[in-house]
Structure 1
Amino acid sequence: MRFVKLLSISAFIFGGLIFLLSLIFPSTAVVERTGVIQAPVDSVYKHINNLREWESWNPWTRPDTTATLVYAANPVGVGAWYSWEGQLNKGKVTITGSDRDKGVHYTMDIQHMRPVKGGIEVKATVDGKATAIFWHMEIKLGLAPWWKLRGFLSDRIYGPSMDQGLTELSRICEKR
């Protein structure tokens, strides 16, 4: 009995120390990717401002092959959204800001996960023939130590998919 009591107290103290240690870690994870697309800003903006176009380049448009997508009546600009529901999860992406000179900002709500704020910013290069693109996501992690650990892994989890998406977007825009 004494061993069980000592084990319980030790586990409680160890858990408390891990929680207190996790408080010094950031409560937000940011993942960023940049690139240059050899196409005018208008061409790139057209593909990032229309959620139906996301199917051709965004790796997360179909996170689950069984997912069904539903689009807003107007899938372009502020207020546009699409949602998905599949065997693995369900969620919704909503455009919260859209400006040809600045890019597109969105929120992504996924079941059983914290909301994600993201943006795809575009800017013409100095010569005006290409587009510099900056894709970023900000994930609120909260206070739980296991979410903060996932925050450290966010770049490894989401970064390769973002690279893949930018490469595909570049391929599509440069082809036209």
Structure 2
Amino acid sequence: MRFLKLILFSILTFGTLIFLTSLLFPSTAVVERTGVIHAPIDTVYAHVNDLKAWVQWNPWARPDTTATLEYSDPAYGAGAYYTWKGKQSTGKVTILDSEPDKGVHYLMDIEGLKPVHGGIELKHTADGKATAIFWHMEIKLGLLPWWKLRGFVADRIYGPTMDQALNQLSAICENRH
């Protein structure tokens, strides 16, 4: 009985220590990527503002091959959204605001995960011949230790996919220009 009490006390102490230590970790994870697309800003904006165009360049817009996608009408601009239901995940992306020559901000809700607030910001390059793009995602992690630990690897989880998406977007926009 004494051994059982010692084990329970150890587990409780260890759990409390992990929780208190996790309070020192940031409660928000941010992943950012930048790039330059050699195409006019209106060409790039057309692809980031239209959710139906996301399927061409954004891997998260087609979460799995079994997913069914449904779009709002219209599928572009502030308030536009799409939903998906598949074997692997269910979710919704909503454009919160959209401005030509500036970009879009969106909210991505995936069932079972924390909401992701994102933005794809656009600017003219100094020479005016290309578009500078800044894509950022912010995830509020909350207080639970396992979510905060996930924040430490957020860049490794989401960063390569963002790089791939920006490269694909760049190729599409540059070929249309």
TM range (shorter): over 0.9
Segments ≥4 residues shifted beyond 6 Å: none
Offset at residue 64 of structure 1 (A): 1.4
In the aligned structure 2, how far is the partner of 1:8 from the partner of 1:65?
46
Aligned to 1:156: 156
Superposition TM-score, scaled by structure 1 size: 0.99
Cα contact 2:42–2:101 (8 A) shared by 1: no
Percent identity for Structure 1 against Structure 2: 68
Q: Deviations over 1:27-65 (max 9, x none)?
A: 000000000000000000000000000010001011111
In the aligned structure 1, how far is the partner of 2:30 from the partner of 2:102?
19
Amino acid at match of 2:80: A
Cα contact 2:37–2:130 (8 A) shared by 1: yes
Amino acid at match of 2:25: F
Q: Deviations over 1:49-82 (max 9, x none)?
A: 0000001000101111110100001001000000
| Aligned pairs, number | 176
In the aligned structure 2, how far is the partner of 1:141 from the partner of 1:119?
18
* Structure 2 unaligned spans of 5+: none
Q: 1:93 and 2:93 equivalent?
A: yes
In the aligned structure 1, how far is the partner of 2:101 from the partner of 2:41?
8
Secondary structure of 2:56's partner? coil
Within-5 A mapping of 1:22-61: 22-61=22-61
Cα contact 2:77–2:97 (8 A) shared by 1: yes
Root mean square deviation, CA, Å: 0.5
Amino acid at match of 2:47: H
Aligned to 1:113: 113
Q: 1:70 and 2:70 equivalent?
A: yes
Offset at residue 136 of structure 1 (A): 0.3
In the aligned structure 2, how far is the partner of 1:134 from the partner of 1:126?
15
In the aligned structure 2, how far is the partner of 1:57 from the partner of 1:107?
18
In the aligned structure 2, how far is the partner of 1:174 from the partner of 1:85?
32
Q: Deviations over 1:99-142 (max 9, x none)?
A: 11221000000001111100000000011110000000000100
* Structure 1 unaligned spans of 5+: none
Offset at residue 15 of structure 1 (A): 0.3
Secondary structure of 1:83's partner? strand
In the aligned structure 1, how far is the partner of 2:174 from the partner of 2:101?
19
Secondary structure of 1:34's partner? strand
Aligned to 2:102: 102
In the aligned structure 2, how far is the partner of 1:50 from the partner of 1:101?
14
In the aligned structure 2, how far is the partner of 1:156 from the partner of 1:163?
11
Within-5 A mapping of 1:128-167: 128-167=128-167
In the aligned structure 1, how far is the partner of 2:114 from the partner of 2:60?
16
Q: Which moved more, 1:17-26 or 1:59-68?
A: 59-68
